[in-house]
Amino acid sequence: MILIDPKRIPRHVAIIMDGNGRWAKKRGLNRIKGHQKGADAVKEIVQTSNEIGVSWLTLYAFSEENWKRPKTEVKLLMNLLKKYLKRELKEMLDNGIRLQAIGRIEKLPAGTREILLDSIEKTASNNKMVLTLALSYGGKQEIVDAVKKIGKQIEKGEITSNDISEKTITRYLYDAGMPEPDLLIRTSGEYRISNFLLWQIAYTEIYITPILWPDFNRKEYLQAIEDYRKRERRFGGTLETDQYFDPGERMKKCI
Ligand code: FPP
């Protein structure tokens, strides 16, 4: 049994879902089978996040670099995403999940983009949890896109370079209202950030597990949360100034 203190649930969890291909290879299956099983894992982690009170869940579903994969794999991934969104719309509506996307969405094939935008619109008034899919997403590209928008403001004479602060950059990210992740999980054991949320993870706690994404289930996820719970977050300060943890707080909830 894992004990979770509701006060120490990370507000925002971001996940690099890696290892679908290896999962399939280990079983002598086609890579797409790994992605299909990966979509089932997405469902379980979305449900669990919502249940335990995570307010923001951000999943790295397709990177800018993933366009370099074989055309057939890209096509299958886009179809899988379409199917997932169709299948899960009711679940999102029933459970107060608001869907949104970050990335260069305009590059997605029309069919996938339409379903995505439709699901975003239909779930727009939900307010229990925000599920953000990073699609055609790159952290460097996000910063470049933000800088271009700031450049335009300067060209128009609305601001000068002296006005640029961290807040200015944050305001022009794909989702300016998204809080920075508290916990970043990466599956399949690689120690890399892979161009994910580069600006936003400055103080994020990182958890890396060797488990391949299709095998990442509720139990593994709660273990990651439990590991996070034990950490001391100081944000560059000292423990005394840390508002995040109250070490005397007793565990309140059994999951
Ligand atoms: C990485 O595994 C995974 C991806 C590039 C895509 C993630 C997609 C899913 C989890 C399934 C569909 C998503 C949603 C939101 C329904 P990899 O192929 O790089 O694995 P490997 O490193 O073992 O080859």
What are the DSSP calls for 99-119, one per residue? EEEES-GGGS-HHHHHHHHHH
Looking at the CA of residue 38, tell me the nearest atom of ligand 1. Answer: 10
With respect to residue 166, please indicate whether it lies within any of the assigned structural domains: no
With respect to residue 241, please indicate whether it lies within any of the assigned structural domains: no
> What distance in angstroms lies between residue 19's CA and the mean position of ligand 1's atoms?
7
CA–CA dist 11, 222 (Å, integer): 14
Looking at the CA of residue 60, tell me the nearest atom of ligand 1. Answer: 7
The SS3 of residue 62 is strand
Looking at the CA of residue 24, tell me the nearest atom of ligand 1. Answer: 23
Mean pLDDT of 84-95: 98
With respect to residue 158, please indicate whether it lies within any of the assigned structural domains: no
84 lines ligand 1 (CB under 6 A): yes
Contacts of 190 (CB under 8 A, 6+ apart): 18, 208
The torsion angles phi and psi of 66, rounded to 5 degrees, stand at -65, -20
The SS3 of residue 19 is coil
213 lines ligand 1 (CB under 6 A): yes
Q: What is the model's pLDDT at position 233?
A: 74
CA–CA dist 198, 23 (Å, integer): 27
> What distance in angstroms lies between residue 137's CA and the mean position of ligand 1's atoms?
13
> What distance in angstroms lies between residue 149's CA and the mean position of ligand 1's atoms?
31
With respect to residue 80, please indicate whether it lies within any of the assigned structural domains: yes
Q: Facing residues of 101 across strands?
A: 133
Classify burial at 134, counting beta carbons within 10 Å of its beta carbon; exposed 0-12, middle 13-18, buried 19 or more: buried
pLDDT of residue 38 exceeding 70, the answer is: yes
With respect to residue 254, please indicate whether it lies within any of the assigned structural domains: no
Q: What is the model's pLDDT at position 232?
A: 74
55 lines ligand 1 (CB under 6 A): no
Is pLDDT larger for residue 232 or for residue 201? 201
With respect to residue 104, please indicate whether it lies within any of the assigned structural domains: yes
Residue ranges making up the domain that contains 29: 7-140+183-228
For residue 251, name the pLDDT band (cuts at 50, 70, 90).
Answer: very low
With respect to residue 211, please indicate whether it lies within any of the assigned structural domains: yes
Average pLDDT, the chain: 92
Q: Whose CA is nearest to atom 15 of ligand 1?
A: 61
Domains held by the chain: number: 1
pLDDT of residue 9 exceeding 50, the answer is: yes
For residue 245, name the pLDDT band (cuts at 50, 70, 90).
Answer: very low
> What distance in angstroms lies between residue 213's CA and the mean position of ligand 1's atoms?
8
CB atoms < 10 A from the CB of 20, how many?
24
Closest CA to 34 of 47, 20, 46: 20
Classify burial at 70, counting beta carbons within 10 Å of its beta carbon; exposed 0-12, middle 13-18, buried 19 or more: exposed
82 lines ligand 1 (CB under 6 A): no
33 lines ligand 1 (CB under 6 A): no
DSSP 8-state assignment for residue 196: S
Assign residue 51 the CATH number of its domain: 3.40.1180.10
Q: What is the model's pLDDT at position 1?
A: 56
CB atoms < 10 A from the CB of 188, how many?
21
pLDDT of residue 138 exceeding 50, the answer is: yes
Closest CA to 36 of 221, 214, 220: 214
Classify burial at 217, counting beta carbons within 10 Å of its beta carbon; exposed 0-12, middle 13-18, buried 19 or more: middle
Mean pLDDT of 7-29: 96
133 lines ligand 1 (CB under 6 A): yes
Closest CA to 233 of 223, 224, 246, 221: 246
pLDDT of residue 191 exceeding 60, the answer is: yes
Q: What is the model's pLDDT at position 239?
A: 55
Q: Facing residues of 205 across strands?
A: 183
> What distance in angstroms lies between residue 152's CA and the mean position of ligand 1's atoms?
35
With respect to residue 23, please indicate whether it lies within any of the assigned structural domains: yes
